[in-house]
């Protein structure tokens, strides 16, 4: 593996939609590095979680313009990856930070 898997997979995205996807179809959502491609994401997930990946779908999320008082700013752009595990593979377990 050329790149460090910990620099490719940044954190899990935990929302109502992703929790439902994980429960019904075995799809896990991660925030990934913006310059990572699908092959690197697949190899990183397989290396970190010791499981086999069937499919990776990616989505670029643009940052939103925010205002604090009279100051305008923009949140950062980020990349999201939906990873579907192969049939019969153990599910990935992660813990939510309180």
Whole-number pLDDT of residue 20: 94
What tokens does 16 get? 């109502």
CATH no., domain 5-85: 3.30.70.330
- For the chain, 98 residues long, give each residue's pLDDT as a single digit of tens: 458 999 999 999 999 999 999 999 989 999 999 999 999 999 999 999 999 999 999 999 999 999 999 999 999 999 999 999 998 888 888 766 54
Between CA 21 and CA 15 the distance in angstroms is: 10
Nearest C-alpha neighbor of 56 from the set 79, 77, 74: 79
Each domain of the chain, given as residue ranges in start order, spans 5-85
Between CA 58 and CA 37 the distance in angstroms is: 8
Pairing of strands 9-12, 53-61: unpaired
CB atoms within 10 A of CB 65: 9
Nearest C-alpha neighbor of 57 from the set 43, 42, 44: 42
Whole-number pLDDT of residue 89: 85
Burial class (CB in 10 A: 0-12, 13-18, 19+), 18: middle
């Amino acid at each position: 593996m050329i790149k460090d898997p910990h620099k490719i997979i940044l954190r899990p995205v935990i929302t109502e939609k992703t929790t439902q996807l994980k429960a019904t179809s075995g799809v896990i959502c991660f925030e990934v590095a913006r310059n990572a491609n699908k092959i690197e994401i697949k190899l990183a997930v397989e290396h970190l979680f010791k499981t086999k990946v069937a499919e990776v779908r990616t989505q670029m999320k643009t940052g939103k313009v925010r205002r604090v008082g009279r100051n305008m700013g923009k949140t950062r752009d980020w990349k999201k990856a939906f990873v579907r595990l192969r049939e019969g593979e153990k599910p990935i377990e992660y813990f939510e930070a309180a």
